[in-house]
Amino acid sequence: MQFTKLTCRLWFQRVSRHNKDFCSKVPKTPKWEEVDHTRIPNVPHIDQEMINHLERVSLVEFNNQAGIERLSKAIESANKLHMVNTDGIEPMESVLEDRMLYLREDKVTDGRCKQEVLSNAVKTIEDYFVAPPGNIPLKTKERDYGSNSKGS
């Protein structure tokens, strides 16, 4: 979301400045702007509860202290996007947003390919996929996330 805002902003600036050659959306020369770090929002404290939550919704394990640091860096880097002024600019969700959405006629044209559908399944019983029961919580392994993550 934030990334698209940035893209939008750059494009907007470019169009307004060089109205004649707006077919190219890439600046001709690289531009560098120093970011005032004091104005970037702080990286939130990442405690055990937050790690559990993130691991659960992303299905990614952070494994160790290095993983947590990498996450902090990533958040800090992403936070720089807050520096871009997007006031009054409608967020662009897709480059196709002004296109007509193609609508298909309501006809059966697909399916009936049980073999292919089941081909990646680890285990099947009578043409059903076999899955673990319900939502089972992520296994809690003993992992060392360092002392600073021992939060609430």
Give the nearest distance from C-beta 48 to other proteins in angstroms.
14
23, 26, 122, 125: which one binds other proteins (CB under 8 A): 125
Q: Is 100 among the residues that bind other proteins (CB under 8 A)?
A: yes
Q: Is 130 among the residues that bind other proteins (CB under 8 A)?
A: yes
As a whole number of angstroms, the distance between CA 65 and CA 51 comes to 11
CA distances from 121 to 110, 113, 131 (A): 20, 14, 10
Give the nearest distance from C-beta 141 to other proteins in angstroms.
19
As a whole number of angstroms, the distance between CA 53 and CA 62 comes to 12
Q: Is 122 among the residues that bind other proteins (CB under 8 A)?
A: no
The 8-class DSSP code of residue 49 comes to H
SS3 state of residue 124: strand
101, 140, 141, 144: which one binds other proteins (CB under 8 A): 101
Q: Is 93 among the residues that bind other proteins (CB under 8 A)?
A: yes
- Element holding 71 (H helix, E strand): helix 65-79
Long-range contacts of 30-36 (CB under 8 A, 24+ apart): 35/80, 35/83, 36/83
| Stretch of 24-32, 37-45, 112-120, 143-151 lying at the interface with other proteins (CB under 8 A) | 112-120
131, 143, 148, 151: which one binds other proteins (CB under 8 A): 131
Residues near other proteins (CB under 8 A): 1, 53, 57, 59, 93-94, 96-114, 116-118, 125-135
